[in-house]
Amino acid sequence: MRNFPSCFGENGVQVSDCSSSGSSKSCQNVVTSLYQAHLRRRPCVITVTWTRHLMGQGLAVGIDDSCSRSLCKVDIKPWLFTKTKGSRSLDTDAGGGGKVDVFWDLSAAKFGSGPEPSEGFYVAVLFDLDMVLLLGDLAKEAYKRTNAAPSPSNAAVLIAKKEHLFGKNVYSTKAQLCDSGKLHDVAIECETAGGLKEPSLEIRVDRRRVLQVKRLGWKFRGNQTILVDGTSVEVFWDVHSWLFGGHIGNAVFMFQSCPPAEKLLPRPCPQPRKETQLQGLGFSLVLYAWKNE
């Protein structure tokens, strides 16, 4: 079996998120997506983080180069104290110098149980008036407001997503399991009751069981390959905290697909420190599952 911690290390997605605090309260309602993009042919990673707190919704957009150096960041404070429609402009040395503009309109956004809107919104990232990243279903409105020209050849690619889930035995979300795949219902069910019953783990995609782990006390870390959207997806799990942590901490699940060779980014930089190392990776979905007591 492949070593589980290593899959989140140099060639994977790090698990050292807010989960390390040992408390789910500081991590509630956070969804982070990472996109591979280019600024004048220079590779970069755009990080979009949605949050929900008692004070309201929040949104942050950051751009790093392929060596994990921060190029710029826009932090939109909780919407209780700011408008749900606006823009920010920042100068950056990316691509030899230029201007990054971030436009957003969430005034008609609709939300589910999480902090990320499902429809009725857009978030647009421009570099020198070129559309680098466009999220949401209001593309026509976004192009009209930004005066940007469509550039499908430079379309950003979703490479990783992290989400925090909360429940008692069942943890559910809607997610892609590969970068160009459709949205699926993903459910993780873990029975950890004591007595004569052995702990077990089950993962379902669109109500179909794709993975089952019996004798979970002996197999609290592991990996297995499943098939989704015609793509092989490696599933990694670590439920040690659930079984042996006294209900403190969270379990971690990662779904990782293999990328086409043409989607890999060059890594000329020494000692990269990015959360998601891009070389040799496809799309990664990381789920932090917290138990509600």
Instruction: Give the CA count within 13 Å in the CB-facing half-sphere of 225.
Output: 7
DSSP state of 149: B
pLDDT of amino acid 52: 84
| Same domain flag for 125 and 173 | no
Check whether 16 has a pLDDT greater than 50.
no
Is pLDDT above 70 for 94?
no
pLDDT of amino acid 201 = 93
With a cut of 90, say whether residue 48 has pLDDT above it: yes
Residues 173 and 152 in one domain: no
Residue 31's pLDDT is 92
From 102, 131, 158, give the residue that closes a domain: 158
pLDDT per residue as tens digits for the range 179-229: 666 889 999 998 866 655 788 999 999 999 999 999 888 999 999 999 888
Can you give the residue range of the structural domain that contains 242? Answer: 5-26+163-291
Quote the pTM value. Answer: 0.79
Q: How far is CA 38 from the centre of its chain?
A: 19
Predicted confidence (pLDDT) at residue 13 exceeds the cutoff of 80: no
Beta bridge pairs of residue 47: 34, 62
Place of tokens 């429940």: 167
For the chain, how far is it from start to end, CA to CA, in angstroms? 32
Query: Of 134, 158, 182, which marks where a domain is finished?
Result: 158
- Distance between CA atoms of residues 254 and 13, nearest Å: 8
Overall number of domains in the chain: 2
Q: Given 113, 140, 158, which residue is the final one in a domain?
A: 158
* Cα 224 from Cα 63, distance rounded (Å): 33
pLDDT at 259: 57
